[in-house]
Amino acid sequence: MYRLLQKLPVNDATTCLGNLLTHTVVEIDRYINSRRKSVYLLAALVRNVFEICLIVEYILRSRDNLRDWIGQRVSDEIGILNSARLLSVVPNDTDWIDAEIQKLKARAAKQDIQESRYRLPSYYSKHLGRGSEYEKFYGLFSKFIHPSSWVINEDKKRIETADVFQTIFARKTKQYLDEILGHVATYISSRIAT
């Protein structure tokens, strides 16, 4: 998929799609390379791959959606830098952080990128007409990831050996991976001359 994507001109869409594919691989590698393949780690994998799937579909829907996604990157970095400022105890750090924010804003303005606020996965799913699917599965995935009372207080062996969760998470991961690849393949094939 990367080789085909590289045949296209470099632009915002191809860059974002390449980055999303790369991060999908990071998520898969994290699970594969884990010393212990737990149901909790599999839940994190499927949850993150689902989010990536939603983002891929979202940015391919329109140029405005793509620009929104790119603008989120700017807002995310500014938010991270502002959080670092709050945690910093060294005065020089805050000067560096302020300078970095100004550079980031200047680059964004030069590239005509507007800051966009972070979008929750629920936003993407509703925007894409996948709200029902989100409601069914996202809560399930998240219950295994967050320190919910059930995860903390339930018998860990019982959770880990319940094949139903492993099966659901593995099947949904495959489904979302297939969707990601399908969306990217459709994008590529519509732009490669036959």
Q: Which residues of the chain have pLDDT under 50?
A: none
Task: Give the per-residue pLDDT at 194.
Answer: 53
Q: Burial level of 23, CB count in 10 A (0-12/13-18/19+)? A: middle
- What crossing angle do the helices spanning 39-61 and 63-87 adopt, rounded to 10°? 130
Distance set, CA 99 to CA 89, 92, 103, 114, 115 (Å): 17, 11, 6, 19, 17
The two three-digit tokens of residue 119, written as one number: 């979008």
pLDDT digits (tens, 9 = 90+) for 125-154: 999 999 999 998 888 888 888 898 988 898
pLDDT digits (tens, 9 = 90+) for 10-24: 999 999 999 999 999
Q: List the domain boundaries for the chain.
A: 2-68+120-189
Cα(165)–Cα(163) distance, rounded to whole angstroms?
Answer: 5
